[in-house]
Amino acid sequence: MKKLNYIFMFGVLALLSACASVQYNTTKVVDLDFGQYKTYGWLPPIDSLSKDYFSNDIAQTNILNAANNELADLGLQYSKENPDILFRYITIVNNKSRPVYHSHYGWGGPWGWGGPWGYGFGYGYGYTYPAGSEKYRYAHLIVEALDKSTNSVIWQARGSSAISSPEKAINNLPKVIHGIFKEYPSK
């Protein structure tokens, strides 16, 4: 019985961690030496579809502070006058839906005889079927790096996850930025 409880708890934890995880994707210009960039600056964020979530002072401050810390850790220095590389971010929140399944479980159970030895048998059946759909929000935070001399995007990374509330999403932004800059091509 204890083993069954452990298996159940592991399954619940795996499900919860899968729901709360952030997926990261990145792309870059291949064979570009990112070590040539020593200073950076910021472009204004691109207007996006997430006005209710990330277009406020707290979200912007969380994004910029976390990104500046990550860039400093990468050895880049902020320069307002003449940066080598420019960064900008884009936030998008999509409305999505996913199927909800209903489980139909049959009956069965321990019928037995033999007293404390527990001889017995049981049977049952079960299946799942789509019962409808639920709506949820899916957020993307995209950071792009542009070479100032060519004004072209040379690196882009995205962190994406389902979100349940604006407050949790905004408070989670530094963690998402950290994951995004793990993808930055270092020297």
Q: Average pLDDT for residues 164-180, to the nearest whole number? A: 93
Q: Average pLDDT for residues 153-167, to the nearest whole number? A: 93
Least confidently predicted of 48-52, 67-71, 90-94: 48-52
Task: Flag whether pLDDT at 135 surpasses 60.
Answer: yes
Give the dihedral sign, CA 124/129/134/138: positive
- DSSP-derived 3-state class of residue 91: strand
The domains found in the chain, sorted by start residue, are 22-97+136-181 (3.30.160.670)
Band (pLDDT 50/70/90 cuts) for residue 110 is low
More confident residue, 85 or 19: 85
Task: Flag whether pLDDT at 53 surpasses 80.
Answer: no
Give the dihedral sign, CA 55/57/62/68: positive
Band (pLDDT 50/70/90 cuts) for residue 125 is low
Band (pLDDT 50/70/90 cuts) for residue 15 is very low
Task: Flag whether pLDDT at 133 surpasses 70.
Answer: yes
pTM summary value: 0.72
User: Which residues touch 101 (CB under 8 Å, ≥6 apart)?
Assistant: 128, 129, 130, 131
What is the predicted pLDDT for the residue at 7? Answer: 39
What is the predicted pLDDT for the residue at 50? Answer: 57
Mean pLDDT computed over every residue of the chain: 79
Task: Flag whether pLDDT at 41 surpasses 70.
Answer: yes
What is the predicted pLDDT for the residue at 101? Answer: 75
